[in-house]
Amino acid sequence: MSFAKSVWKILVAIKDGLVLLFLLLFFAGLYTVLTLRPAPGMVREGALYLPLEGRVVEEASEISPTQLLSGQTPEPEYTARDLSRAIAAAADDKRIKAVVLDLEAFGGGSAVHLSQIGAAMDKVRAAKKPVLVRSLIYTDDAMQLAAHASEAWVDPMGGVAISGPGGTLLFYKGLIDKLKANVHIFKVGTYKSAVEPYMLSQMSPEAREAMQAVYGTLWQNWQDEVKKARPKADLTLATTDPAKWVKDNGNDAAQAALKSGLVDKIGDRVAFGKRVAEIAGADDDAGLGGFKATELPVYLADTSAPSQGKAVAVVTIAGEIVDGDAGPGMAGGDRIADLVDGVAQSDDYAGLVLRVDSPGGSVMASERIRNAVERVKAKGLPVAVSMGSLAASGGYWVSTPAQRIFAEPSTITGSIGVFAVIPTLEQTLPQYGVTTDSIRTTPLSGQPDLLGGLSPQVDALLQGQVEQTYARFLGLVAKARGKSSADIDKIAQGRIWDGGTARQLGLVDQFGGLDDAVAWVAKQAKAETFHAEYIADEPSPFAQLLRQMETGEAPEAKAHDLAGALAAQQQGLLARMQADVMRLMEGGGIRAYCLECGGEESPVSVEKGTAGQSLGLWATLVKLVA
């Protein structure tokens, strides 16, 4: 008995110790959040220094605790509006002598976001302040920013590697046939190619036509921007025969970039730092090549956003549209609808701007958001949509209530079409001794049967539902654009369009960014002075702690030379494969999703997926066949 009491005392002591430890960790974390948060007044006279070590996005995603617990260091994310606001503010800030971007570990971003940042860089240059950029290898995204610099530096071991939009798509028809699986496709739209990876071995002629047209326009827009920002640059050999281009310069890629006017100077990080120090002042405590500087979080804390006049609410719909409360970084239908309803229930706003940067997703979630926007309109508030890099499929569905749609020439939109995919394994499992039997009281008993197959009635029912949903989609667009459903059907069929063509077709009203959409809403509301107010969920202290931990960690080591830069551009294929399989297995219902647009967004991570458990079955089958 005394032994049992001793064991019990030990267990209680361990429990009390763990509770105390967790309490200490909690308060330590809270203290970290409160003390590490940048405060106004910390800006140094010198340079605004932006070492971009991740992607530029519309909305930064939440950091999953499981990522940190598993030892993963998430790639940092920078919102485009934060970067452009900080850079533009530096133009009139007497404390800032120069704007400096280090792009050696830059993860890229969409053309629309980079154009926005480039315009802010132009504003700094117009104020007679230098903008300096450095990198080891300039790929397309980094080059788009560097074109706006007054001085673009490249490392002697680096160069420029321009690949243009496009790349490799994955198709699983051969694997599905090998597994003897059966993928049931329900779709409407000749160009709705989101299901093609599961039913074809290569792109359909229709999908190829649509993608070539859009990517051709994006490529031309990129070249036009670079040439306008850097008129003396010669892109000819760099984009048509890069091997000859480099060989003609003794296989020195840095010299090739310099002679073509794509960069201005060659020098390593120390030489670049010394050049910045000549302008912004040297910082001896920062080591060789150190210069006086203020980084983004501190500068943003010191530079408040405009707050004068009437507020125009801005609600961001970024990432895949999914059911539930997911996000930020993903557009959970319930979460977004609640934010929009908050605008409708308040008397503080002149109107609403939806900032859409999404390839679409769940039809039900898209409809939930659309209904919430309709409630804002019913209150009499003006509503506009500002399309970012993507507003396709479900991203266009949520845009239909808007009285005015703004887009950029490089926006991808359209993809008006719907589909559903259900895999069944009735021919796969018997190969391994697994069989099924059933008892049915109605045609829908046990359906859809993923193991035994779908009945003809279910096939017909699901196809009918997809067709009805497409008809509703057409009706929503037709009503919004003042056309007939037949007219919209001619330009729908799941086809994607660039922003310029979409404007010609009447799917978009005018070119312009978020600021233009906010100004339009304010004008409709007769608000002479106004400002944008971003409506978002307040991050929890724990989420802020995770963000602090994430930004405090060094990014994962990567090779940034030419070979490493080119290889990094293809790393998304594995993530895309996993995302495609998850999308197939998750049973997400009827979808309005633009798979063609996937190349324009960062790969979907496993943490963001909703079908992790389903993936296990598919992976097991693949292993069995392999």
Per domain, the residue ranges of the chain are: 37-162+235-302
Q: What is the pLDDT of residue 588?
A: 60
Phi, psi of 301 (to 5 degrees): -65, -30
Residues 192, 310, 483, 608: which is the catalytic one? 192
- Is 178 catalytic? The answer is no
3-state secondary structure of 581: helix
328 close to 59: Cβ distance less than 8 angstroms: yes
Distance from the Cα of residue 106 to its chain's centroid: 15
* Highest averaged pLDDT of the listed ranges 188-202, 251-265, 528-542, 556-570: 251-265
The distance of Cα 534 from the centroid of its chain, to the nearest Å, equals: 18
Ramachandran category for residue 461: left, alpha or beta (phi over 0 → left; psi -120 to 50 → alpha): alpha
Whole-prediction pTM: 0.84
CA-wise closest residue to 502 among 417, 416, 418 = 416
Q: Of 105, 87, 32, 24, nearest to 561 (Cα)?
A: 105
How far CA 173 is from CA of 167, 178, 183, in Å, comes to 19, 9, 9
Q: Which helix (H) or strand (E) holds 14?
A: helix 2-36
pLDDT score, position 614 = 39
Across-strand partners of 361?
A: 321, 592
pLDDT in tens, 487-524: 999 999 999 999 999 999 999 999 999 999 999 999 99
Q: CB–CB of 428/149 below 8 Å?
A: no
In the chain the first and final C-alpha atoms are separated, in Å, by 58
- Look at residue 335 in the predicted model and tell me its pLDDT: 96
Tokens of 136: 């080891």
Count CB atoms within 10 A of the CB of residue 209.
Answer: 13
Q: Are 324 and 333 in contact (CB under 8 A)?
A: yes
For helices 612-625 and 572-585, the axis angle rounded to 10 degrees is 110
Distances (CA, A) of 407 to 317, 329, 599: 15, 20, 19
Q: What are the phi and psi torsion angles at 353 (to 5°)?
A: -120, 125
Q: What DSSP character marks residue 446?
A: T
- The answer to whether the beta carbons of residues 276 and 98 sit under 8 Å apart is yes
At residue 183 the predicted structure's pLDDT band, cuts being 50, 70 and 90, is confident
The string of pLDDT tens digits covering residues 99-142 is: 999 999 999 999 999 999 999 999 999 999 999 999 999 999 99
pLDDT tens digits, one per residue of 218-251: 999 999 999 999 999 999 999 999 999 999 999 9
More confident call, 33 vs 404 = 404
Q: Does the annotation count 64 as an active-site position?
A: no
Going by C-beta distance under 8 Å and a sequence separation of 6 or more, which residues neighbour residue 319?
Answer: 59, 61, 327, 329, 330, 331, 357, 358, 601, 608
Backbone phi and psi for residue 470, each to the nearest 5 degrees, phi listed first = -65, -40
Residue (of 380, 398, 394) closest to 339 by Cα position: 398
pLDDT at position 508 is 97
As a 3-state breakdown, the chain gives helix, strand, coil percent values, each rounded to 5, of 45, 20, 35
The CATH class that applies to domain 37-162+235-302 reads alpha beta
Which stretches within 127-170 are classed as H helix?
140-146
* pLDDT at residue 66 greater than cutoff 50: yes
The DSSP bridge partners found for residue 151 are 132
- Are the beta carbons of 353 and 312 closer than 8 angstroms? yes
CA-CA-CA-CA torsion sign (593, 599, 600, 602): positive
In the three-class reduction of DSSP (H, G, I as helix; E, B as strand; rest coil), residue 50 is classed as strand
Cα separations (Å) of 383 from 71, 365, 431, 574?
Answer: 44, 19, 57, 39
Q: Which two tokens stand for residue 424?
A: 């069944």
CA distance 405 to 397: 12
Q: Are 576 and 609 in contact (CB under 8 A)?
A: no
> CA gyration radius for the chain?
27
Q: How does strand 383-392 pair with strand 404-407? A: parallel
Higher pLDDT, residue 506 or 304: 506
In 15-150, where do the E strands start and end? 46-51, 55-57, 77-79, 96-102, 131-138
Q: What is d(CA 272, CA 286) in angstroms, rounded to the nearest whole number?
A: 14
Q: Percentage of the chain surpassing pLDDT 90? A: 59
Residue 163 Cα to chain centre, angstroms? 20
Cβ atoms 537, 338 nearer than 8 A: no
Give the three-class secondary structure for 263: coil
Q: What is the 3-state secondary structure (H, E, C) of 324-356?
A: CCCCCCCEEHHHHHHHHHHHHHCCCEEEEEEEE
Tokens representing 280 are 């912004």
User: How confident is the model over 598-626, as pLDDT tens digits?
Assistant: 554 444 433 344 433 334 444 444 444 43
Range with the poorest average pLDDT among 163-167, 317-321, 481-485, 534-538? 534-538
| Residue 100 to residue 291: CA distance in whole angstroms | 11
> Of 61, 393, 410, 415, which is the active-site residue?
393
Phi and psi at residue 289, to the nearest 5°: 80, 10
- In this prediction, residue 608 carries a pLDDT of 43
For β-strands 510-511 and 404-407, DSSP reports them as parallel
CA-to-CA distance for 519 and 459, rounded, in angstroms?
A: 49
Asked if the model's pLDDT at residue 17 lies above 70, the reply is no
Interatomic CA distance for residues 413 and 401, integer angstroms? 16
Least confident of 52-61, 137-146, 539-548: 539-548
